[in-house]
Amino acid sequence: MKSAVSSLVSSKNQSHSAISRPILQHSSKPISQTTFFIPTIPRNTKNLYSQRYKKLQIRPNSTSVMASSFKPEQASVPPALPLPTPPVTKFNIGLCQLSVTPDKGRNIGRARKAIEEAAQKGAQLVLLPEIWNSPYSNDSFPVYAEDIDAGGDASPSTAMLSEVSSRLKITIVGGSIPERCGDKLYNTCCVFGTDGKLKAKHRKIHLFDIDIPGKITFMESKTLTAGETPTIVDTDVGRIGIGICYDIRFQELAMIYAARGAHLLCYPGAFNMTTGPLHWELLQRARAMDNQLYVATCSPARDAGAGYVAWGHSTLVGPFGEVLATTEHDEDIIIAEIDYSILEHRRASLPFAKQRRGDLYQLVDLQRLNSN
C-alpha cells in the first residue's frame, strides 16, 4: 500500500510539473503542442478505490431513478395549501414612511394624517413602519409600551388605528409598537380590518441582537421578549403573512407563510445604516422571488441625529423579485398597485412547487402539524 501511494504521489507531482508550469509562465506554445502527462494509477490503488467507493459510482439509469423519486407533495409537512382565491384581484397599497420623534402624541397624530392621506390616494391597505410611536432604543421601549389587550387609554396608538380603519373602511397593518403584557415587553404588529376590529397580533419572533465591531451593536433581548407564533391573517385584500424587521432574514418563516397560502408578506422594519445598504432590498427580493408572492416593507424615515438611524427605503416587491415601488430615506407615502392575477402566471413560468425535492428535504410547519 505504501509503495502504491508513493507511486501515485510521484505521478501527481510529475503531472503538476508538466501541466501547471507552462500555463503559469504563459507559454507561447499552442495548446495542441503542450505536453501533458496523465498519471497512471497503480492497479492495487485502483482496486482499493473501487472497493471503498463502489456505492458512489454513477449508474447509467441513475437519472431516471432520481426523477421517479421526486415527491413535491411531501416537501411541506403538512402539505402546502393551494393559493386561495383572494377577495380582490387588484388594489392599491400605501406605505407610510414616517418620521419618529420623542413626542408620542405627535407620532400618533402624524401616523393618523399619513393613513388618511394614503386612503385619499386610493390605498385599500396601509402599512406603517416598525416602532413608529417611539424612539428605537432599549431605554424607550418600557416607557412607550402599551397594553394592547386592554385597549382604550391603555393603548392610544392601536385605538387610533382601530378608529381610522373603521372610519375609512381600509385594512391597516399597523407597523409595530412596544407592547406591555404582564411583566414582559414585545415588539408587536397589529392588523386591523375594515370594521376596525383587531384581526391579528404578531410579536417579533427573531429579536435583533447583533454586534458588528466598529459599526453597530444592538441587543433587543435586553428589554424585549421574542414572540413564538407565526402570524397569517385573511383580510379584505388577501391572505397576509406578517414579520417584523429581523424576521425577514429567516427564509423559513416566509416559506411557512407561502405554504399556508399567503398572497402578500408585510414586514415593517428599521434596518440600519450598516446593513440597510447591503441587505434591505436584497432580502425583500429574495423572499418575494423564492416564494413567488408580493413583499411589502415600511421603514421609519431617517433621522441622522437619532440614537438609531434607520435606512428608510420602504419598498414593494413583486413575485418575480422585481422592485415595483420604493422611496428614499425622507418621510414619504408610496401608493402602488398589487395585482394578484400574475401570481399564478409567475408560478406557472417557474413551477417551484412541482419541482421541490420532497425526497431530500421538507419544510415542517410545527404549528399546523400540532393543530391537526
Residue 193 domain flag: yes
pLDDT, position 222 = 96
pLDDT at 58 over 50: no
Residue 243 domain flag: yes
233-247 pLDDT tens trace = 999 999 999 999 999
Residue 122 domain flag: yes
**Average pLDDT of the segment spanning 76-92:** 96
Tell me which residue range forms the domain holding 300.
Answer: 90-370
**pTM of the predicted model as reported, rounded to 2 decimal places:** 0.82
pLDDT, position 62 = 44
Query: Residues 204, 220, 266, 298: which is the catalytic one?
Result: 204
Q: In what order do the strands lie in the sheet with 231-235?
A: 231-235, 238-242, 264-268, 294-298, 315-317, 323-326
The rounded radius of gyration (Å) of the Cα atoms in the chain is: 28
114-132 pLDDT tens trace = 999 999 999 999 999 999 9
pLDDT at 15 over 80: no
Confidence of residue 67 (pLDDT cuts 50, 70, 90): low
Decide if 245 is catalytic.
yes
Residue 103 domain flag: yes
C-alpha angle 271-279-254 in degrees, rounded to nearest 5: 90
pLDDT, position 70 = 82
pLDDT, position 53 = 44
pLDDT, position 68 = 57
Decide if 298 is catalytic.
no
Query: Residues 130, 179, 220, 281: which is the catalytic one?
Result: 130
pLDDT, position 372 = 74
Q: Which of 287, 276, 289, 181 is nearest to 242 (CA)?
A: 287
Report CA dihedral (245, 208, 193, 89) to the nearest 10 degrees. 30
pLDDT at 37 over 50: no
Count of alpha carbons within 13 Å of 360, Cβ hemisphere only? 8
Residue 198 domain flag: yes
Say if CB 272 and CB 300 are below 8 A apart: no
- Number of domains the chain contains: 1
Decide if 130 is catalytic.
yes
pLDDT at 198 over 80: yes
pLDDT at 33 over 70: no
279-320 pLDDT tens trace = 999 999 999 999 999 999 999 999 999 999 999 999 999 999
pLDDT at 4 over 90: no
Query: Residues 96, 189, 190, 245: which is the catalytic one?
Result: 245
CATH of residue 122's domain is 3.60.110.10
Residue 361 domain flag: yes
Confidence of residue 13 (pLDDT cuts 50, 70, 90): very low
Confidence of residue 154 (pLDDT cuts 50, 70, 90): very high
